[in-house]
Structure 1
Amino acid sequence: MSKTLLNVYLAEDDSDDRLFFSDALREIPIPSRIFEYNNGVDLMSDLTSGTNEEPDVIFLDLKMPMMDGFECLADIRDLAKYVNTPVIIYSTSYHPKEIDRLKEMGASLYLQKPSSYNQLKTLLHKCLRYVNSSERIKVEPEFVISI
């Protein structure tokens, strides 16, 4: 069942990347609201406190201070409430061993940060169509989303 407005959580320490992401998100034809965090500690604090609306999808940067994406993903998957929430890794790096580990840890998709704004819009649209699809449970997409 598709939602009319998706709650998108983004944990990303780079303010330019957060701006790039949120601008691109506003331009795709899937209505969403973004909640931004500059580290995993703040994200986890909000997830455990329940002060914001529940996320429909969480995008995690891997290389963040205080709590990196690996630690954050492990903590998210340890919370029964979020065991089925899609978590998409959003990173500049591309290391097959890391990607395999993330998949084993329960990441839903791996999105390598693209170099252009239009590519980012295309990839975010692809990710959110997957998240908002009633077929998500039945069809496993490619784990790595790229152009």
Structure 2
Amino acid sequence: MNNQIYNILLADDDSDDCSFFEEALDELSLATTLVTVNDGVQLMDFLTDTSHESLPDLLFLDLNMPKKNGSECLAEIKQIETLKNFPIIIFSTSLDTEIVDVMYQKGATYYIRKPGDYSKLKSVIQNALLTASKNDFKQPDRSEFIIQP
């Protein structure tokens, strides 16, 4: 049994996607906490706010957000010394190979295409948490970068 508590940060501007993500987490047999932010500016403010006792364990990052998109946030996070090793799982509706390649090159830890099916959402979140944890939240080889449900 996995006894780790996963402290998760979700950056996504779609309130329905946030709700489904939270419901899916609640139904997993994993201990989790979740904080959500709704745009890239809120995300960067949260990550650079020094009043937090600690950072979350990982970030699920949507690419298409207002004010500052996920790609811009990823690049900015990787430029900040205290955040450059922060695990980031891209969580996007797109599975365009060029975008996936760019996210890998920019240093994202994993990439997930948002599934339209709720049971697949639960499965892919669980797979992501367990795979990332097993890999010590480090970026894998490119062939293992995309996590499937």
Indicate whether the TM-score tops 0.5: yes
Aligned-residue identity in percent: 37
Aligned mates of 2:146, 2:134 — CA distance in 1: 18
* 8 A Cα contact 1:57 1:131, kept in partner: no
Within 5 A, what are the aligned runs for 1:123-142? 123-133=124-134, 136-137=137-138, 140=141, 142=144
Higher relative contact order (CA 8 A, sep 6+): 1
Unaligned runs of 5+ residues in structure 2 are: none
Q: Aligned letter for 1:69? A: G
Moved over 6 A (4+): none
* TM-score scaled by length of structure 2: 0.89
Within 5 A, what are the aligned runs for 1:1-147? 4-52=4-52, 53-133=54-134, 136-137=137-138, 140=141, 142-147=144-149
Aligned mates of 1:69, 1:137 — CA distance in 2: 19
Unaligned runs of 5+ residues in structure 1 are: none
Q: Alpha-carbon deviation of 1:3?
A: 6.7
Aligned mates of 1:36, 1:85 — CA distance in 2: 16
SS of residue paired to 2:144:
coil
Aligned mates of 1:49, 1:69 — CA distance in 2: 18
Residue by residue, what CA displacement relative to the aligned partner does 1:113-137 show, whole Å, maximum 9, x if unpaired?
A: 0011110111000111123226555
